[in-house]
């Protein structure tokens, strides 16, 4: 990670990257309940991980990961790692999309996952994903060794307790807090697996902004929703206990979907609560056209000392390739409202493959967008020296 007071601004991404067709076929089979040969799965997911590492290096991204290649989604992958998740329940439209239902029909169309339905929790949550998590670790290690390059900065993404609870229907627990803290105890085991590698852990928690407020808690006032977020941050902190803060970054957003977003929560209303998380890096959208003005929130609510800011400066919802100068502008305006010694790492707003088979951005465009990110960060680095 690098400061903007004379050093080069580094780049990263938010976890998910385009998956190859062969891997999507296997994910589709698994999601539909079909059998996949374990050896074939290992070969295809391993090859995909190797390819995605090579592609990130070719693009010039500084902080890399496995592109979430073996996962069906950033959140629903936990269905294979937590106990008592099964069945599907109809999902209500998020509040902003209820006013525009025709938009929703086009927005969430994928032939891999049925995003109109949510899995349900039917019993006590425990973690049983050790083998799958360790396989991800091993595949990434092998891929990095295969490059022959000394890669210093790697990260693993993992779902927050609260996003698991927000996107899996509770049919077992009588109390939301009990549900979230049980998920926290379970997911802590995955966090520890990834932390032991020495890599950065990225906690994915879009529910801490508008995807929580426009979905599960849509009827809550801002004040009521803030209390929910406080609970969710407490659960996350419990799950992270024992893991050094400097090894953890948090990604939150207003949802990686092309929709109206007119009911999104303001960043300034939530930042003080987000700052209670036991982390040292914060990733939040800044390229989203609904929220580009909210860089000012970081002047109103300064980042905690020693934290890294990871502003989203590349759009992930359209096939327009962001101009590097535009990306540099986005970086620069954020840099100008934080102290000079604040570490800034440039990133896209969100992932490019958060749900397998659902790509707002075509795979052929995702990589030029990341190339533009690298170029834009170089331009901003020059401007800010």
What mean pLDDT, rounded, does the chain reach?
Answer: 92
The pair of structure tokens assigned to 18 is 């385009």
Q: Of 263, 252, 370, whose CA–CA distance to 311 is shortest?
A: 252
Write out pLDDT tens, residues 205-248: 999 986 554 566 777 888 898 999 999 999 999 999 999 999 99
The pair of structure tokens assigned to 205 is 């928690």
The pair of structure tokens assigned to 248 is 């953890």
Average pLDDT over residues 358-375: 94
Give yes or no for residue 6 having a pLDDT over 60.
no
Q: Which residues pair with 188 in a beta bridge?
A: none
The pair of structure tokens assigned to 57 is 């290096």
Average pLDDT over residues 67-88: 95
Please state the φ and ψ torsions of residue 280, each to the nearest 5 degrees.
-135, 5
Least confident span in 156-170, 199-213, 308-322: 199-213
Q: Give the whole-number percent of the chain exceeding pLDDT 90.
A: 79
Q: How many CB atoms lie within 10 A of CB 134?
A: 14
Q: How far from 316 is each of 23, 32, 103, 144, 265, CA to CA, in Å?
A: 22, 27, 17, 26, 19
In three-state secondary structure terms, 198 is coil
Average pLDDT over residues 43-68: 98
> What domains lie within the chain, and their CATH numbers?
10-384 (3.20.20.210)
d(CA 242, CA 59): 35
Q: How far from 167 is each of 79, 109, 120, 181, 259, CA to CA, in Å?
A: 11, 17, 9, 15, 18
Write out pLDDT tens, residues 241-250: 999 999 999 9
| pTM strictly above 0.85 | yes
The pair of structure tokens assigned to 300 is 């109103």
Asked if residue 75 lies in contact with residue 190, where contact means CB atoms within 8 angstroms, the answer is no
Tokens 């929709």 sit on residue: 259
Asked if residue 259 lies in contact with residue 289, where contact means CB atoms within 8 angstroms, the answer is no
Write out pLDDT tens, residues 91-105: 777 678 788 877 766
The pair of structure tokens assigned to 281 is 């890096």
Least confident span in 50-64, 105-119, 158-172, 278-292: 105-119
Q: Give, in degrees to the nearest 5, the angle at Cα 15 between 354 and 141.
A: 130
Residue 3: band (very low, low, confident or very high) from pLDDT cuts 50, 70, 90:
very low
DSSP H or E segment with residue 178: helix 176-195
Write out pLDDT tens, residues 111-155: 777 777 889 999 999 999 999 999 999 999 999 999 999 998 999
Write out pLDDT tens, residues 14-26: 999 999 999 999 9
The pair of structure tokens assigned to 331 is 């970086």
- For the purposes of burial, counting CB atoms within 10 Å of the CB of 282, is it exposed (0-12), middle (13-18) or buried (19 or more)? buried
- Look at residue 367 in the predicted model and tell me its pLDDT: 98
Average pLDDT over residues 156-179: 96
Asked if residue 355 lies in contact with residue 20, where contact means CB atoms within 8 angstroms, the answer is no
d(CA 266, CA 272): 12
d(CA 80, CA 148): 33
Asked if residue 62 lies in contact with residue 10, where contact means CB atoms within 8 angstroms, the answer is yes
- Look at residue 108 in the predicted model and tell me its pLDDT: 62
Asked if residue 74 lies in contact with residue 148, where contact means CB atoms within 8 angstroms, the answer is no
């Amino acid at each position: 990670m690098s400061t903007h007071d004379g050093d080069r601004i580094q780049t990263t991404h938010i976890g998910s990257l385009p998956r190859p067709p062969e891997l999507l076929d296997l994910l589709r089979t698994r999601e539909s309940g079909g059998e996949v040969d374990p050896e074939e799965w290992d070969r295809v997911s391993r090859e995909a991980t190797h390819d995605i590492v090579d592609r990130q290096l070719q693009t010039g991204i500084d902080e890399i990961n496995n592109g979430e290649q073996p996962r069906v989604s950033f959140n629903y992958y936990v269905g294979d790692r937590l106990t008592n998740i099964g069945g599907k329940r109809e999902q209500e439209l998020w509040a902003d999309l209820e006013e525009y239902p025709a938009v929703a029909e086009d927005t969430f169309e994928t032939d891999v996952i049925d995003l109109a339905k949510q899995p349900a929790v039917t019993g006590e949550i425990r973690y049983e994903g050790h083998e799958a998590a360790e396989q991800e670790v091993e595949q990434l290690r092998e891929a990095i060794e295969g490059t022959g390059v000394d890669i210093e900065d790697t990260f693993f993404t993992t779902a927050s307790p609260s996003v698991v609870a927000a996107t899996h229907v509770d049919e077992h627990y009588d109390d939301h807090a009990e549900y979230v803290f049980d998920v926290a105890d379970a997911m802590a085991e995955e966090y520890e697996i990834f932390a032991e590698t020495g890599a950065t852990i990225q906690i994915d928690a879009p529910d801490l902004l508008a995807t929580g407020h426009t979905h599960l808690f849509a009827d809550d006032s801002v004040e009521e929703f803030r209390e929910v977020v406080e609970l969710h941050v407490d659960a996350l902190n419990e799950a992270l206990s024992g893991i050094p803060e400097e090894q953890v970054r948090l990604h939150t957003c207003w949802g990686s979907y092309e929709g109206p977003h007119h009911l999104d929560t303001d960043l300034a209303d939530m930042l003080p609560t987000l700052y209670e998380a036991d982390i040292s890096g914060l990733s939040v959208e800044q390229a989203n056209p609904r929220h580009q003005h909210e860089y000012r929130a970081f002047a109103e609510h300064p980042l905690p000392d020693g934290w890294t800011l990871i502003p989203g400066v590349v759009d992930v919802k359209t096939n327009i390739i962001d101009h590097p100068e535009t990306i540099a502008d986005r970086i620069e305006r954020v840099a100008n409202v934080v102290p000079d010694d604040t570490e800034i790492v440039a990133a896209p707003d969100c992932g490019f493959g958060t749900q397998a088979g659902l790509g707002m951005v075509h795979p052929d465009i995702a990589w030029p967008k990341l190339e533009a990110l690298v170029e834009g960060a170089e331009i901003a680095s020059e401007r800010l020296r």
